Amino acid sequence: MNCEEAIAAFKSEVENLRKNLQLKNQYNEGLRKQIIEVRKNIRSITGNVSSMGEIKKNPADLVHQNIVQVVKKYDEEISPKVGQLREMKTKRVNQFITKLNMTVETFNQMVAYTITFDKFMINIEILFSICFFNF
């Protein structure tokens, strides 16, 4: 076999391989479309079965499920927010109580100084009266 015949045989083999690959790709594409169609059918059947199951359920069970969902949503979303609000209010109340205690303490100190000053003044008056009565 000469060089030209070998090249022609090689090209022919490559062309055959290309055709086979094209056929396999087409076959795979057909299988992929069938798989997608089967999946769609399974989803629709599953949806129909689940909706039939809900129809057969007792209405009280459906109400119970709804209540459970509401409670779950409350626990997941609302309860943490309520806790945060409670913490903020507690913090504000504690700050107010601290300020109020400081104000009361300041007032008590002022009263104590006033009483001390009054006692001092009374003592001075007593001293003056003693001094004046002794002279």
Dump pLDDT digits (tens) for 118-127: 777 777 777 7
Residues recorded for the chain: 135
Does the pLDDT value for residue 38 go beyond 80?
yes
| Contact between 76 and 68 (Cβ < 8 Å) | no
Please choose, from the candidates 29, 32, 28, the residue with its C-alpha nearest in 3D space to the C-alpha of residue 40: 32
Rounded to whole angstroms, the Cα distance separating 81 from 75 reads: 10
% residues pLDDT > 90 (the chain): 0
Distance from C-alpha of 89 to C-alpha of 81, rounded to nearest angstrom: 12
Q: What is the Cα–Cα distance from 105 to 28, expressed in whole angstroms?
A: 88
What is the reported pLDDT for 49?
A: 61
Quote the tokens at residue 114: 């006033």
Please report, as a single letter, which amino acid is at residue 49.
V
Q: What does the pLDDT look like over 41-75, one tens digit per residue?
A: 777 777 666 665 555 566 667 777 778 887 787 77
